Each structure stands twice: as structure tokens, then as C-alpha cells.
Amino acid sequence: MSLKSAIEWTNSTWNPVTGCTKVSAGCDRCYAERLSERFRGVESHPFESGFDLTLRPERIEQPLRWRRPQLIFVNSMSDLFHKEIPDAYIRRVFDTMERADWHIYQILTKRSSLMRDFVGKHYAARPVPPHIWLGVSIEDSAAMTRLRHLKQTNASMRFVSFEPLLGPIGDVDLEGIQWVIVGGESGPGARTMQADWARSLRDQCQEQRVPFFFKQWGGRTPKAGGNALDGHQWQEYPGMAYDRALEAPLQVRARQILDKQVS
């Protein structure tokens, strides 16, 4: 777990799994793979095995020992719903999130149907608790099936990260979505995000009253192009821009955490 994260829309990261495999164009220049593979073969390093999928059971209960409330990005170095991760292990991760409910957890996946199916099985009688935010990453219009799967997921709080945004998305129905993040690709060979692609998503969020967070333009480094869209930094969060997005008890807790995040 990292108590500080360079990712603008979170406080911290928690990685009970590391490593992954590619599933779509958004994975082509994966930052997590690039970082992990630098240390392949380095004896006793956490990434000695590079970006190979690795369960880290010794990390599962870390949030229970972290007493200060945090926004926690779960599996920033993997995908919790990778097909090779057993359901029983994912259940243990969710058990920890339910027990350490003073935090807010942010889970992103490209394996949206597996997330939907897991949630449908393990949360058949009730939605996923509202302090556990479930989201999908969508890089272009070809990946929009993930949004449909997300809407079919029995969650209290759903969000979409259009990052790295590699093409125009077109019209998007954001009914049932409480947050949208947009960002360009960063790192060596980063593919350019066009301004009109980002503007279209921002405008649709405004029209549909969904909080919009513009993370970065991207480039050689994450901060190379800054994070202003049309001269404005868009850093809206659920429970901040539109109160209807979350239930009242979570709004209070989210407000306390998010005040620290944006101050």
C-alpha cells in the first residue's frame, strides 16, 4: 500500500494483486507493466517477477491498519477481475473493504463482464456498499460494451475512466453513472488525445449532471501537458458537484475525505 499516490483522483493505492495481461488497445502502453518490468530479476524486489500476475495475500488486510480515512485506488498495478484470480480471493478483498468501511475504495477494470458476474453472485441480495466505487476503463468507442456491463452491475456507486482516451466516444448515456474521469496517455510513445474528444465528454457530463474530472493531457510524462481543459481545471467528485449522486451518509464521509484530497 502506498500512503501517497501521484494519481490525481485518489489518495492512496492498495495492491493485493500485481501483474496483468493485455485485453485491448488501452493496455498497449501500460504504465504498470513498464514500471514492473524494470525490476524483473532483481532479487527480493516486490517486482522480481516483473508484471506476471501475482496474488499478494499478505497485503489483503492492510486497509484495516490504516486508520486515517483515505480514497484508495484498488489494484493500481493489476486488474482485480482478471480471469485467473479466484473468486474466493476477490471475496477476501471485498471482505476487507467492507470491514474497513471508513475508507472509500475505487476499483477500475477492463474485464467488466467478470466484475458484473462476480457482483451478481456475491451481492445478489443487496448492492455493493456505497463506500466501494466500481468503475470501468474505456479507451475508445470499441470498448463501450464495458459501460453496458457496468450498468448491469449491482453497485451503489459506478464510475467510468475514459483513460487513456484514444478516440472519439460519441454520444454516451450516463444514466446510473455517478462520476466520469478523462485523461490522455502518458509515457514513451504516448498517443495523442484530441481536445474535441475530451470536450464532448465534458459537455455530456454537464448536460447529464455527472461530476467530471479531467486528469491530464498526457505526453512523455503524466504532467507534460498539464490538466487544464479550455483554461479550467475540472476536478469534480461524486458527492461534491451533485448531491443526488450518493446517499446522504456517504456524502458526509466522502466530503470529509475529499476535502483533504482537493485542499
Provide the CATH number for the domain around residue 116: 3.20.20
Backbone angles phi, psi at 101, to 5 degrees: -85, 10
Return the percentage of the chain with pLDDT > 70, whole number. Answer: 89
1 located within any domain: no
Residue 155, strand partner residues: 128
188 located within any domain: yes
Across the chain, the runs of DSSP E, i.e. the strands, are 12-14, 17-18, 54-55, 71-74, 104-109, 132-137, 158-162, 179-183, 212-216
68 located within any domain: yes
- For the entire predicted model, the pTM comes to 0.90
Can you say whether residue 41 is alpha, beta or left, with left for phi > 0 and alpha for psi between -120 and 50 degrees? Answer: left
- What pLDDT sits at residue 6? 77
Please tell me the total count of domains within the chain: 1
Q: How far apart are the first and last CA of the chain?
A: 22
2 located within any domain: no
121 located within any domain: yes
Residue 105, pLDDT above cutoff 70: yes
Determine the structural domain holding residue 69 and report its residue range: 12-262
- What pLDDT sits at residue 92? 98
- What pLDDT sits at residue 246? 41
| Angle between the N-to-C axes of helices 87-99 and 112-122, in degrees from 0 to 180, rounded to the nearest 10 | 70
Could you tell me which residue, 9 or 253, shows the higher pLDDT? Answer: 9
Q: What is the mean pLDDT of residues 100-111?
A: 96
H-type alpha helices, 5-104: 31-37, 87-99
Alpha carbon of 142 to those of 24, 104, 184, 207: distances in Å? 9, 30, 17, 23
Is residue 10 within 8 Å of 254, Cβ to Cβ? no
4 located within any domain: no
Could you tell me which residue, 6 or 263, shows the higher pLDDT? Answer: 6
Categorize the per-residue pLDDT at 245 as very low, low, confident or very high, splitting at 50, 70 and 90: very low
pLDDT in tens, 30-54: 999 999 999 999 999 999 999 999 9
Cα–chain center distance at 66: 20
Please work out, in degrees rounded to the nearest 5, the angle formed at the alpha carbon of residue 8 by the alpha carbons of 46 and 57: 30
Q: What is the mean pLDDT of residues 129-145?
A: 97
7 located within any domain: no
5 located within any domain: no
- What pLDDT sits at residue 5? 74
Could you tell me which residue, 8 or 108, shows the higher pLDDT? Answer: 108
